[in-house]
Amino acid sequence: MRRIGWLLAALLLAGTASSPAFGLSQSDLDKVQREKAQMAAQLEDASDEVRAAGLVLAETAARLPGAEHAVDVAHGRVAAAEAEAAQAQRETDAAREALQEAEVEYEAAREAVEAAREARASLFAATARGSELLTLDAVLASGDPQKAVDGLTYLEFMMDGKNLAVEEVTLARREAANAENAASLAQTEAEDAEAAAADALAIAETRYTEAQAAQRTVEQLVGQHEAALAVAEDAREDAQSEYDRLEAESERLADQLRRADRDDDSGGGSSSGGGGGGGFVVPVDGWKSSDFGWRRHPIYGTTRLHGGTDFAAGTGARIHAADSGKVVYAGWSSGYGQLTCISHGGGLSTCYAHQSEIWVDYGEHVDRDEGIGAVGSTGDSTGPHLHFEVRVHGDRVNPVGYLPSCLCR
């Protein structure tokens, strides 16, 4: 049993320590605390091991939906990041292809410039030599007009050829410069695309890491839940035995109240006449935290009777007699802890459990609204509160019908 206690303590500590990693909002954390408090209230008559297991079950059950949603969100973000990274890679590939094409065009343009320069070099030389030999004076000095015309035509042809060659080289150089600029731009675009792809890949890796962490959180919660459930299942028989023991204690108390009622025919001077119907005063200044009635066990699924109404109040808060009567029980009573019961006559009695102090003695007469003790957390209790019971001929009934509808003092 000590091993089980250590296991549950470790689970509770793990759950508390890992809480910030779950990414829960404050409202989510408040919900977790409310569900743990509700679980604790429902298991106040259970063993320490089952109580601890119940707290783990309540916390993991409350956290799991949020953690599973976080996994779904993380997976969606991973898919989006992967799609973005894939698109960035495609753009990078396209930019690289464009760069290669631009480089090929630039190289072809550069080679065209060289070819044009080499192809026209001889023409430039020939033009220069022809211009020296076939000067305008020589052409005009010719005595043959036809030869003069032919000479001028040849000279014009040579000059036109030279001009054309210069234009071709100039055009080739311009095209080469344009190709070089295009290649430079393509290089910049390719580098930008590669940087964007690297950024997208880094984001995708971050999203994948987040998804892994979210999945580990879910697995951790599931593991804690299963471990706590296993502990609770191991204690199922002990829990049922404890409940049976407490019910037997309640029945012994009922027998004692019945005997007290038979022994005291005077009815103890009850001002309510034993009728109920809102005739009692609220026994403590607090708020109703738990109702009378049958409860479904939060772990085992069995039904159990919660035989009173609980009022949350601070330790030491004054407990008042709901009506005048005779103290027929004042002392320790197993799961009830420090307990006081008052007979109001006519088979009607009230009981006040989990007290930190009892201020009255057995057989003492108390007046309506008189202080009889202080709120505590003795017996099977998970926190300071008053467990208030109304019994008719020893049997537990719903106290609310005997109290003011506002449940206020």
Higher pLDDT, 338 or 159: 338
Residues of the chain with CATH 2.70.70.10: 265-402
pLDDT band per the 50, 70, 90 thresholds, residue 299? confident
In this predicted model, what pLDDT tens digit does every residue of 75-85 receive, in sequence order?
888 888 888 88
In this predicted model, what pLDDT tens digit does every residue of 92-138 receive, in sequence order?
888 778 778 877 877 777 777 777 767 666 655 555 555 555 555 55
Considering the four listed CATH numbers 3.40.50.1110, 3.30.9.10, 3.30.450.20, 1.10.287.950, the one that applies to the domain covering 1-234 is 1.10.287.950
In this predicted model, what pLDDT tens digit does every residue of 331-371 receive, in sequence order?
999 889 999 999 999 999 999 999 999 999 999 999 999 99
265-402 homologous superfamily:
Glucose Permease (Domain IIA) (2.70.70.10)
- Residues 325 and 349: beta-carbon distance below 8 Å: yes
CA distance 126 to 223: 95
Q: Residue 351 is encoded by which pair of tokens?
A: 């009981």
Query: Which pLDDT belongs to residue 210?
Result: 86
Query: Which pLDDT belongs to residue 265?
Result: 60
In this predicted model, what pLDDT tens digit does every residue of 90-99 receive, in sequence order?
888 887 787 7
- Residues 37 and 62: beta-carbon distance below 8 Å: no
CA distance 339 to 256: 13
**Is it the case that residue 312 has pLDDT exceeding 60?**
yes
Q: Residue 56 is encoded by which pair of tokens?
A: 């783990």
């080499």: which residue's tokens? 118
CA distance 305 to 1: 27
Residues of the chain with CATH 1.10.287.950: 1-234
In this predicted model, what pLDDT tens digit does every residue of 52-72 receive, in sequence order?
888 888 888 888 888 888 888
Give 137-151 as a DSSP string. HHHHH-S-HHHHHHH
Q: How many Cβ atoms are within 10 Å of 200's Cβ, its own excluded? A: 21
How does DSSP classify residue 271? T
| Beta bridge mates, 320 | 371
In this predicted model, what pLDDT tens digit does every residue of 229-280 receive, in sequence order?
888 888 888 878 888 888 999 999 999 999 988 877 644 445 454 444 569 9
Query: Which pLDDT belongs to residue 90?
Result: 85
Strands 318-320 and 348-358: unpaired
